[in-house]
């Protein structure tokens, strides 16, 4: 029987575009395999081992035990024997590029830690993991040093990217969870796939909303001309489904403070969705938020906005709330973080600006 790599099976993978371009937020992929009509009965772990490279029987058995292997949408036991026409779903980690992880001592704002998970409040400006052009100074470099202090004999290669199951943009601040074991990583990854993880972001966006709450839908994929950007494709089958729910928290005349709740986790999802409906994130230089989108460009107003850009010199987006089922205790845990100081300062500056203008209008 022919043995396939994950890339060779890309037509059978739910997130083909994300694997090809390396753009998925969740770092595990779902591989779907249709069993041939002439297949003889064979244990599920042996069958998957024969079909997928860069895995092991131990990893497959762990995945089965953790409910990460489904046959005809049902969980099975490790002694299950595949039959013709079975549909097998195998959740597998996707790490197309591997870089050496060099432990580096750096301050980490650890919100929660036990033997299984690590929740960190990431500052804006910090890249999450090593990659081209960012080999050090990343969050993962700092986590490697942190774990080395706990386990001096730790082999960094045993935990790819130290159990990353999702990521947030370099210039987005806020909460991120990492797994400290492969078991925890698999169970957390499944929650991300099942859309049961609670993720709430606070964003400052340009403009005002007619409706105080709503849902943005539309597939997200690479921009057809500018490959470093994402774009929304509301019609057709291009890209992957993306759903963002939003609630307006405060109307500041020229800008609005909104809460965004992610149902899916596509790259730049909030940023590109908000741009799509005409409300780019404040000072998002990738999606047009670094222009004066709302208001007139007279000198005092323009200077005020530019001062705000200087205070918060990145897209005004903070991952505020993160909730999930603990992978070992199976108890629900929820974390909340304060909005980053640069965002808080700009929000307060807008409040004062609007308040002073209203006083002038009344006088």
- Catalytic positions are 169
| 118 contact partners, CB below 8 Å, separation of at least 6 | 110, 112, 143, 177, 178, 179, 180
The whole-angstrom separation of Cα 122 and Cα 170 is 9
Coil, strand or helix at 315 = coil
DSSP string, 181-195: SHHHHHHHHHHHHTT
φ/ψ of residue 87, rounded to 5: -105, 120
The whole-angstrom separation of Cα 218 and Cα 274 is 11
DSSP string, 193-257: HTT-SEEEEEEEEES--SSSEEEEE-EEEE-SS-TTSEEEE-SSS-SB--EEEEEEEEEETTEEE
Q: What angle do CA 180, 186, 192 make, to 5 degrees?
A: 105
Are the C-beta atoms of residues 117 and 184 closer than 8 Å to each other? yes
């Amino acid at each position: 029987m022919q043995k396939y790599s994950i890339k060779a099976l890309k037509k059978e993978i739910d997130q083909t575009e994300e694997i090809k371009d390396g753009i998925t937020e969740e770092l595990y992929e779902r591989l779907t395999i249709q069993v041939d009509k002439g297949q003889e009965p064979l244990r599920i772990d042996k069958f998957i081992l024969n079909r997928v490279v860069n895995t092991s029987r131990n990893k497959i058995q762990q995945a089965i035990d953790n409910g990460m292997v489904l046959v005809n949408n049902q969980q099975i036991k490790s002694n299950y024997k595949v039959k013709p026409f079975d549909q097998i779903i195998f959740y597998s980690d996707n790490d197309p590029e591997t870089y050496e992880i060099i432990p580096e001592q750096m301050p980490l704002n650890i919100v929660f830690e036990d033997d299984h998970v690590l929740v960190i409040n990431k500052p804006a400006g910090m890249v999450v993991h090593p990659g081209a052009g960012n080999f050090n100074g990343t969050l993962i470099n700092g986590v490697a040093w942190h774990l080395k202090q706990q386990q001096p004999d730790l082999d960094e290669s045993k935990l790819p990217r130290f159990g990353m199951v999702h990521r947030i943009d370099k210039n987005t601040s806020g909460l991120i969870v990492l797994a400290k074991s492969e078991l925890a990583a698999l169970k957390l990854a499944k929650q991300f796939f099942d859309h049961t993880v609670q993720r709430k972001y606070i964003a400052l966006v340009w403009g005002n909303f007619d409706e105080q709450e709503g849902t943005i839908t539309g597939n997200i994929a690479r921009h057809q001309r500018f490959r470093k950007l994402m774009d929304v494709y509301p019609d057709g089958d291009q890209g992957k489904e993306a759903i963002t729910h939003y609630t307006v928290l405060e109307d500041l005349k020229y800008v609005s403070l909104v809460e965004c709740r992610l149902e899916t986790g596509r790259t730049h999802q909030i940023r590109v969705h908000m741009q799509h409906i005409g409300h780019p994130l404040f000072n998002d230089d990738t999606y047009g938020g670094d222009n004066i989108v709302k208001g007139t460009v007279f000198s005092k107003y323009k200077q005020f906005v530019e001062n705000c850009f200087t205070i918060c010199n990145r897209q005004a987006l903070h991952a505020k709330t993160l909730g999930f089922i603990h992978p070992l205790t199976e108890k629900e845990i929820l974390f909340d973080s304060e909005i980053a100081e640069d965002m808080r300062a700009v929000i307060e500056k807008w409040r004062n600006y609007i308040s002073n203008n209203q006083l002038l209008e009344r006088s």
